[in-house]
Amino acid sequence: MTTPRSYSSTILAFCGIIVIGIGLYFVFLRPPLLPEDVRFTGLSASDIQSSLPGLSTWLRWVFTVMGGFIVSSGLFTVYFAITSFRMRARGAGWIVSLSGLASIGSMSLVNLFVIHSDFQWILLGLALIWGSAVILYLRKR
């Protein structure tokens, strides 16, 4: 069975690939504390290290697990985009909308308005791309 060509599903699959990349960054590259983390606490990196000597090791494991979940979310997004979303399965639009709000939407809002992340514009861009997939889906493109 062939599925119709869909820009919305292609864009959503692209978003899933980006999410996989974010997860891999968390697993393999993200340092325990980013400069924005230190800024947000109002402490110096050395103050944090001396007050909580095991924090870096603990955060490395937290980000490894978190990254694994992010990769998993990206894999599911890619799969869903090229199957259920492309075939316009019942409820697919709602699932993608709610999933986007809960994941990249909340991450973008917190990074933009709460912690003023160095990555805020990249995340906001991803949220807008995700939103464009939803809009195209609603317009049946």
CA pair distance 139, 133, nearest whole angstrom: 10
Count the Cβ atoms, other than its own, within 10 Å of residue 8: 24
pLDDT at 43 over 50: yes
Binned at pLDDT 50, 70 and 90, residue 2 comes out as very low
Helices (H), the chain: 7-24, 35-41, 45-51, 55-80, 92-100, 106-109, 120-138
pLDDT at 119 over 80: yes
The answer to whether 96 touches 85, Cβ cutoff 8 Å, is: yes
pTM of the model: 0.91
pLDDT score recorded for residue 141: 72
Domain ranges of the chain: 7-138
Q: Give the mean pLDDT of the chain.
A: 94
